[in-house]
């Protein structure tokens, strides 16, 4: 018995680039030199821990382009402030703040909320 309700076999379509895929591909190509330049700069990620009312380590030597992150492990807010150079404003408990060192120098910084908390960032 013949089945008259058969569906025709669809022809396979050749792959096409949709507009969205084309835009994503173009964006990736445009960003490639920027991403490679960031890798070539050799920027390193450094971490300073804030706990026990101290910056650990109390002195950190980095290179220009390095990303430095301060992580507040205390139960109350702190700041990371080098007058005229960088200022984190209040970093809440369990939060962090990052700064990319752009100028060479020897920077004393402190917590403006707790004046006994001092440390140094040396950028070469």
Nearest 5°: the CA angle 106, 66, 79 is 65
Q: Is residue 5 over pLDDT 60?
A: no
Encoding tokens for residue 28?
Answer: 């990736």
- Other CB atoms within a 10 A radius of the CB of residue 85 amount to 16
Q: What is the mean pLDDT of the chain?
A: 81
SS3 44: coil
SS3 117: strand
DSSP 4: T
Instruction: Give residue-wise pLDDT tens across range 58-101.
Output: 999 999 999 999 999 999 999 999 999 999 999 999 999 999 99
Chain CA centroid to CA 37, Å: 16
- Determine the pLDDT at residue 35: 37
Domains of the chain in sequence order: 45-123 (2.60.40.420)
């Amino acid at each position: 018995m013949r089945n008259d309700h058969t569906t025709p076999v669809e022809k396979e379509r050749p792959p096409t680039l949709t507009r969205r895929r084309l835009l994503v591909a173009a964006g990736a190509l445009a960003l490639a030199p920027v991403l490679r330049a960031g890798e070539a700069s050799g920027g390193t990620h450094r971490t300073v821990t804030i706990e026990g009312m101290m910056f650990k380590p109390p002195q950190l030597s980095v290179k220009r382009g390095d990303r430095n992150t301060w992580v507040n492990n205390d139960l109350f807010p702190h700041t990371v402030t080098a007058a005229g150079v960088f200022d984190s404003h209040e970093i809440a408990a369990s939060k962090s703040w990052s700064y990319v060192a752009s100028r060479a120098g020897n920077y004393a910084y402190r917590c403006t909320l707790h004046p006994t908390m001092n440390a140094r960032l040396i950028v070469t």
